[in-house]
Structure 1
Amino acid sequence: MRYKLLTLSPIHIGNGNQINNWSYGLNGEKIKIYDFDKVIKDLKNNNEILINLTHQIEKYPLSKDLGSFLGSLHILPQYECDLKANLRRTNRRTNQQEYKQIWEFIKERGKVYIPGTEIKGAIRTAMFYYLLDKNSKLKGEFFEIFIQALKKSSLFDKNSEGYKNCHSNEFFQRNLEKCTKRARNQEEIEKCKERFEKQVNNCIKKLFLNEINSKIKSLEKRIFTDGNDDIHYDFMKFLLVSDAFNKKKNNSDLLQVVDIVVVGSRKGQTPHEVVKFNKGFEFSINFPDDKTIKMLEKKGYPNISLLTQDIIAEACNKFSQDLIDIELKDLENIMKRETGYRKNNVEKAIEHLKKIKDEIEKLKNKEFIIRLGKHEGFLSTTINLLLRRANLSLYKEVYPHLVPKGQKNIPNKTRKITSQGYILGWCLIYPQDHIKKKPDSNKKDKYEKNLTAEDLAKHWGGRFRK
């Protein structure tokens, strides 16, 4: 079945690469992205310019960019997009201005797309949350995983097995001994002890995470195979999701470069390529038909009947709604600690999330909202969410083991948002046949009560692109 995806916030799905200053050029509020290998190929008949380019890169590796070097050579970029980020920083050691690298958005043959695996992964996470939340027995086992992990490896229990093993680690003890011998006064000795305790804490966290990850993977397998130990009985493999593409061939209309701000911490901003807010993509989701479902049930797939449009939409919307509730609480707490432009960004992010939450309740059958891309993690969503909603006291014990510590040794609660105040990754997914033509003006009142995806785009200040 054909579906459409509408971005409700900027999305970043990375390919692991960064675009450096010798692959881009600045042009006011635009940025030109070049294929460096193609530039070299275009200049192959001009040895003088190639030699000069090599010299410039060696002499100014971070302080100049490719665009300014090419100047009037009439070499076209791959694409040009909006620039909403600060790409310059001051090197504290040299006091010189340098260019930043940009985290690149994933592309296929140079064209932006959203991998089907990314969409299916988000659906699978929501289904895991939905099915576990409905099964009291499995939910009890889920909590027991954390209780047993805390007994084995706790930051707060010096009698736990993990604490003893990490504290007696020969490598850590040797480092402490060497550091103490080099110390010139009591203050430096105390710093050595602090460093040792930090190593021990990181060791305990690693043991704790390894313990819960293996157990939760086992629990996840049981949920999706209905208790069968064989992974081949995972019913989600029968949900087929294609890659999502935008009809336009040029990336310029889809992408922009923005700064990602880590609110709740003092970390700096990092530039990312993101798909803009309010952009449409098309893809397909293939569900097993009734005949296939009956056949697979006989072959040992009792949960295959869960793979319907209605159940998946219900699971995704339930997960997204609960996640937004938690995100709003965290952002409101973070806002109390922030000042200046960071506080303004958090306020905008809160308003943005509230709009998305309101729209979930207005969705029609088979329409759902999910979150995709970078800055989404299994620990920070599914596990975090289930614990906080169902067992807050256990969550408070577990939380310090899941996150890095910030100032004053307090677990660091942070969120990544764009410098324009958007939480990353939110998308609306709906069947392609839900798009309706705009009715006559005399039907306006009725139209407003039954919002389509086109109305939704207008509600947020944009226009839907068919």
Structure 2
Amino acid sequence: MKGYEVEILSPLNIGNGSKKMPFEYILKNGQVGLINVYKLLEDVNKINYLVDGVVNGLRSGRIDWKVLKINVENYIDYRLDYTGFSPIKGEITEFIKTAGKPYIPGSSIKGALRSSITRAMHNSISNNYISSLDFSFKNSSVKKERVDDKAEEDVFGKPHNSPFRFLNIGDTEPFKVEEMGIFEMKILNICNGKVKWYKYQDNKDNPNEAVSIYLEGLKRGSKNTGYINIDKRINDDYIIREGKIQRAEIIKNFISLVKKDVSSYIEKETRFFEKYNLPEIGNFYKKLKEINDKLKENELIIQIGFGTGFNSKTISSLFDEKNKIKLEKYYNRNFDKNLFPKTRRIIFENGKPNAVPGWVKISFK
């Protein structure tokens, strides 16, 4: 393998840690115009009352451009289509960019592949993760985000012994800015067996009343390429033996392992959304299954990026009831053991639930 092509199957956001505040964008004709505030400040720097007005607005989080008589149209960096159903009135989570253009980090793809491979191996390694949970449960000094560290080391070895060191995935080439859009995401929460929508300390029946999360995201159908290399030394028995590399075979077979995991994952999620009568998302997963069933040997689909949820990133959803209870106590949270986790993040378009974020198809060359 020398390269890969990634195709976006559902809106994808990979954040850069920054958010656009409400004064940094304007809405016009169904599009969001992102303002270059730094350029604007340079231009108004010599006009004291304008500087004061903008600075005061920055501090309060609100700027009335009309009152200041500043034509912000002259400072729009780029415009993106918006397909949500609620008027945007909050922060927009930015997409990671290089030279102003979005790209997908290779680390995001590799991390998703690793999680998927680990779940596919569940039957042979589940005891390692249960032991790691037990160890953390008895040792309060273990940070909650490090609960699986012991299991990871038991299964894959220390970093220099890990088979994943032989799998190198580069970043994609930059996408065009116009391949992004602004998407609206809401959090579904199952409460007492019914679909609710998250609003801070409350949950609503009507998604119109729920909190909206706004994202810069790559649009469906967007494609780009990247570099991948599987180090040939993975096939050298001497290097594997002397380097004490654990489970080298998973790198040789990673595509089939991911397909196995994703097939099971799609089946479970389809049942979840059918059970709670969200047909739009049930149909979304049925279409994913059709794509997954028709993949060639060198292709896979997987979920990456922001909003993908607990299940896509961890192995704990495969725990039995007894160990889910341990997990509940360890995190000091009131989990429903038969419904874990009970939240999902959903992309809304044109007033209806439309997709689950972050699904991509990857073809290896």
TM-score relative to the length of structure 1:
0.64
When residues 369 and 70 of structure 1 are mapped into structure 2, their CA distance, relative to the original with a 3 A threshold, is farther
Task: State the secondary structure of the residue aligned to 2:112.
Answer: helix
Cα distance in 2 for residues equivalent to 1:65 and 1:274: 27
**Alignment match of 2:186 (pick from 261, 265, 274):** 261
Cα distance in 1 for residues equivalent to 2:233 and 2:289: 33
Paired position in structure 1 for 2:111: 121
Matched, 1:415 2:353: no
- The answer as to whether partners of 1:26 and 1:67 remain within 8 angstroms in 2 is no
Percent identity between matched residues is: 22
Cα distance in 2 for residues equivalent to 1:110 and 1:404: 40
Cα distance in 2 for residues equivalent to 1:236 and 1:79: 38
Task: State the secondary structure of the residue aligned to 2:5.
Answer: strand
Paired position in structure 2 for 1:370: 302
Opposite residue 427 of structure 1, the aligned amino acid is V
CA shift, 1:298, in A, is 4.3
Segments of structure 2 that go 5 or more residues without pairing to the other structure are: 190-196, 200-210
Paired position in structure 2 for 1:28: 29
Task: State the secondary structure of the residue aligned to 1:351.
Answer: helix
- The answer as to whether partners of 1:132 and 1:223 remain within 8 angstroms in 2 is no
Cα distance in 2 for residues equivalent to 1:54 and 1:285: 46
CA shift, 1:329, in A, is 2.8
- The answer as to whether partners of 1:261 and 1:418 remain within 8 angstroms in 2 is yes
Segments of structure 1 that go 5 or more residues without pairing to the other structure are: 90-98, 153-161, 163-206, 336-345, 433-466
**Which aligned pairs between 1:338-357 and structure 2 lie closer than 5 A?**
346-357=278-289
Between structures 1 and 2, the one with greater strand share: 2
**Which aligned pairs between 1:284-295 and structure 2 lie closer than 5 A?**
284-289=227-232, 293-294=236-237
When residues 398 and 282 of structure 1 are mapped into structure 2, their CA distance, relative to the original with a 3 A threshold, is same
Cα distance in 2 for residues equivalent to 1:298 and 1:21: 57
Opposite residue 342 of structure 2, the aligned amino acid is K
When residues 363 and 73 of structure 1 are mapped into structure 2, their CA distance, relative to the original with a 3 A threshold, is closer
**Which aligned pairs between 1:209-248 and structure 2 lie closer than 5 A?**
210=142, 214=146, 216-225=148-157, 230-248=158-176
Cα distance in 2 for residues equivalent to 1:291 and 1:53: 58
Cα distance in 1 for residues equivalent to 2:246 and 2:156: 10
Cα distance in 1 for residues equivalent to 2:85 and 2:332: 28
Cα distance in 1 for residues equivalent to 2:87 and 2:63: 10
When residues 69 and 406 of structure 1 are mapped into structure 2, their CA distance, relative to the original with a 3 A threshold, is farther
* 1:354-386 residue CA offsets vs partner (Å, 9 max, x unmatched): 111221121001211111011235666432332
Cα distance in 2 for residues equivalent to 1:282 and 1:132: 31
- The answer as to whether partners of 1:10 and 1:424 remain within 8 angstroms in 2 is yes
Cα distance in 2 for residues equivalent to 1:364 and 1:108: 32
CA shift, 1:141, in A, is 3.8
Instruction: Give the structure with higher Rg (CA).
Output: 1
Task: State the secondary structure of the residue aligned to 1:126.
Answer: helix
CA shift, 1:289, in A, is 2.0
CA shift, 1:24, in A, is 1.1
Q: CA RMSD in A?
A: 3.3
Paired position in structure 2 for 1:198: none
Paired position in structure 2 for 1:42: 43
Cα distance in 1 for residues equivalent to 2:361 and 2:145: 30
- The answer as to whether partners of 1:31 and 1:81 remain within 8 angstroms in 2 is yes
Paired position in structure 1 for 2:205: none
Task: State the secondary structure of the residue aligned to 1:82.
Answer: strand
Q: How many matched pairs?
A: 338
| Deviant stretches of 4+, over 6 Å | 147-150
CA shift, 1:425, in A, is 0.8
Paired position in structure 1 for 2:270: 328
**Alignment match of 2:261 (pick from 316, 319, 330):** 319
Opposite residue 386 of structure 1, the aligned amino acid is L
**Which aligned pairs between 1:26-425 and structure 2 lie closer than 5 A?**
26-57=27-58, 61-64=60-63, 72=71, 75-85=74-84, 99-133=89-123, 135=124, 138-146=125-133, 210=142, 214=146, 216-225=148-157, 230-248=158-176, 251=177, 253-264=178-189, 265-267=197-199, 268-289=211-232, 293-294=236-237, 296-300=239-243, 301=245, 303-308=247-252, 311-335=253-277, 346-376=278-308, 381-387=313-319, 391=320, 393-394=321-322, 397-398=325-326, 400-401=328-329, 404-405=333-334, 413-420=342-349, 421-425=354-358
- The answer as to whether partners of 2:132 and 2:150 remain within 8 angstroms in 1 is no
Cα distance in 2 for residues equivalent to 1:357 and 1:403: 35
TM-score relative to the length of structure 2:
0.80
- The answer as to whether partners of 2:128 and 2:154 remain within 8 angstroms in 1 is no
When residues 261 and 291 of structure 1 are mapped into structure 2, their CA distance, relative to the original with a 3 A threshold, is closer
* 1:373-411 residue CA offsets vs partner (Å, 9 max, x unmatched): 112356664323322xxx3x335534644585499xx98
CA shift, 1:85, in A, is 3.7
Opposite residue 345 of structure 2, the aligned amino acid is K
- The answer as to whether partners of 1:131 and 1:223 remain within 8 angstroms in 2 is no
Opposite residue 353 of structure 1, the aligned amino acid is Y
Deviation larger for 295-304 or 234-243:
295-304
Paired position in structure 1 for 2:5: 4
Opposite residue 108 of structure 1, the aligned amino acid is T
Cα distance in 1 for residues equivalent to 2:105 and 2:260: 23
Cα distance in 2 for residues equivalent to 1:422 and 1:295: 47
CA shift, 1:47, in A, is 4.4
When residues 210 and 354 of structure 1 are mapped into structure 2, their CA distance, relative to the original with a 3 A threshold, is farther
Opposite residue 416 of structure 1, the aligned amino acid is R
Task: State the secondary structure of the residue aligned to 2:121.
Answer: helix
Between structures 1 and 2, the one with greater helix share: 1
